[in-house]
Structure 1
Amino acid sequence: MIKIKYLTGIHALNLTCKLDTCGDWHSKSINWNHPDIRESNDSVLKDYGIEEDRKVKYLDCSKKYNVANHIRALLDMLLIGNYGYAQGMKEDYICNEKYTDEIFNQVLKLKNENNWYEINNFMKKEYKTK
């Protein structure tokens, strides 16, 4: 598997992606001087949900970036325990039931993480009886 550096977290959530999701809408209030850049091989999710070679108007316009789609950005937030920013995942950021099974399949990959208990509780709050 190829290692990919990619933009994620709240930064990626505030950009459009190829999914039919809402994302966030506060891009101008984000600190773009310190973007959340990660390495794909450092995660159990590997290259899932990473869109390649994208222009990001808030970063160096002469470069192209690999950017997490909205689902991957939210999953990365869960992995680092950033539940506050991820709150509203289902209703505010994903806004589309057609991705629920895909999200749950990816979340299950996180079951061996140290913060699985917190991730599981977060998902129960977001998705209720699902």
Structure 2
Amino acid sequence: MRYVSGLPALNLGDRSVTPGDWHHSSMDWERPFMLDTSASPYGCWGIGDEPVPGHGPMPVANHIRACLDMIVLGCFGDVQGMREYFLANPATDGVVMRQVWKLRGSRNWPSIDAFMGREYSTRWLDYKQRQMQTNRGETV
């Protein structure tokens, strides 16, 4: 399934849990950034129907999923500050870390790990340490 993600998705959706982005008027709504769930490690997780300007209801990534998609794509500059600005809710930290941990076998893992260290600091280091202790003997 194709869905809206990235910065356009951060400018849509429910803002009651996460604020997303605030550059709605500068988005190219004629051709919003689209991805396909079949090419994602997350499948259909975090995607729901939302109104998209000029298109009506379409599948759209929620704010967490949009950030995760950009991390998977290596668009770290676009998602820099996500914890403080786009997500801005400590309750999302655990969800983000669990989903990012699923990427640890990817070839881009060193960059993803470094990005998460910059975004989440000791929270990420502590999370990784707990995961490694829990999964001793697991091959990655």
Q: Same fold (TM over 0.5)?
A: yes
1:109 equivalent to 2:105? Answer no
Q: Which moved more, 1:13-22 or 1:79-88?
A: 13-22
In structure 2, the CA distance between the partners of 1:50 and 1:18, relative to structure 1 (3 Å rule), is farther
Task: Return the offset for 1:54.
Answer: 2.1
What fraction of aligned residue pairs are identical, expressed as a percent?
Answer: 39
What amino acid sits opposite 1:8 in the alignment? S
Q: Which has the higher helix share?
A: 2
Task: Return the offset for 1:18.
Answer: 6.7
Aligned counterpart, 1:127: 120
What amino acid sits opposite 2:78 in the alignment? Y
The correspondence for 1:55, drawn from 46, 51, 55, is 51
Q: Distance in 2 between matches of 1:127 and 1:37?
A: 27
Q: 1:72-112: CA deviations, max 9, x gaps?
A: 00000011111111001100011000111111000011112
Q: What pairs with 1:1-130 in structure 2 (closer than 5 Å)?
A: 4-17=1-14, 20-51=17-48, 53-56=49-52, 58-61=53-56, 64-130=57-123
How large is the Cα RMSD of the aligned pairs? Answer: 1.4
Greater relative contact order, per chain length (Cα 8 Å cut-off, separation 6+): 1
Structure of larger gyration radius: 2
- Alignment partner of 1:55: what SS? strand
- Which 5+ residue runs of structure 1 have no aligned equivalent? none
Q: Distance in 2 between matches of 1:24 and 1:38?
A: 19
Q: Aligned pair count? A: 123
- Alignment partner of 1:28: what SS? helix
Q: 1:40-73: CA deviations, max 9, x gaps?
A: 121111111111x3211x2323xx2000000000
Q: Distance in 1 between matches of 2:54 and 2:102?
A: 31
